[in-house]
Amino acid sequence: MANANEVFGQALVMSLKGERGHIPIERALSDIDAELAGKQIDEVPYTIYQLVKHMLYWQDKFLEFLDGGQPVMPTAVHEMWEEESKPASPEEWKETIERLLKGTDQACEIAMNVQLDDTLNKWPTESKASILRNMASHNSCHLGEIILMRRLFGAWPPVGGGYPA
């Protein structure tokens, strides 16, 4: 029988990867090309590219905390957002998605292999579980924005389907 740590670790993995609550993150992002990633919508202050870079920015911070580090935190909102509205090349866009998915996999590995109620050395008021939950909810929130933008561009559902269709 699984213990509470294992059960919560499995729940975190589902939240990080995107199961049950929303489409898997990899499926929602994998067929977006560099052109779509940099496309603008009136009244929306960022592109899909900027959203993914923002997700990656915070994911890197969360993972650094989980690794025992103490990342430099932003002092202003603009530091968390990419200035460029589109990727420099299709290769750069592909590398950005790969980094995001690799970081998600790393977080899932942590969720399944650590004592989740352990506190962080550099942030003793936070547990490993709380950082992983924060990462999952942050990415989930922005993934929803990406899906809405894709729908507005007529680029939904992704290859393999999506829900809602």
CA distance 68 to 165: 41
How much helix, strand and coil, in percent to the nearest 5, is found in the chain? 60, 5, 40
| Site of tokens 């909102």 | 77
Count H helices, E strands: the chain? 6, 2
Position 165 scores a pLDDT of: 46
* Residue 86 domain-assigned (yes or no): yes
Q: Which domain holds residue 78?
A: 4-152
- pLDDT of 120-141, one tens digit each? 988 899 999 999 999 999 999 9
Judged by phi (left if over 0) then psi (alpha if -120 to 50, else beta), residue 42 lies in beta
For tokens 């969360």, the residue is: 62
- Which positions of the chain have pLDDT values less than 50? 164-165
Q: Is the pTM of this model over 0.85?
A: yes
Helices (H), 18-115: 25-29, 34-37, 48-66, 90-113
Token pair 């935190």: residue:
73
Q: Any idea what the CATH number is for the domain that residue 9 is in?
A: 1.20.120.450
Tell me if 163 is assigned to some domain: no
- 46 domain residue, yes or no: yes
pLDDT of residue 22: 81
In a domain, 160, yes or no: no
Instruction: For the beta carbon of residue 57, count every other beta carbon within 10 angstroms.
Output: 14
- Is the residue at 162 inside a domain? no
Going by C-alpha positions, the residue among 159, 136, 164, 142 that lies closest to residue 44 is 142
Domain count for the chain, please give it.
1
| Whole-number Å distance between alpha carbons of 125 and 143 | 28
The answer to the question of residue 93 being in a domain is yes
- Residue 11 counted as domain residue: yes
Residue from 106, 98, 133 nearest 26 by CA:
98
Please indicate, yes or no, if residue 15 is contained in any of the structural domains: yes
pLDDT score recorded for residue 148: 95
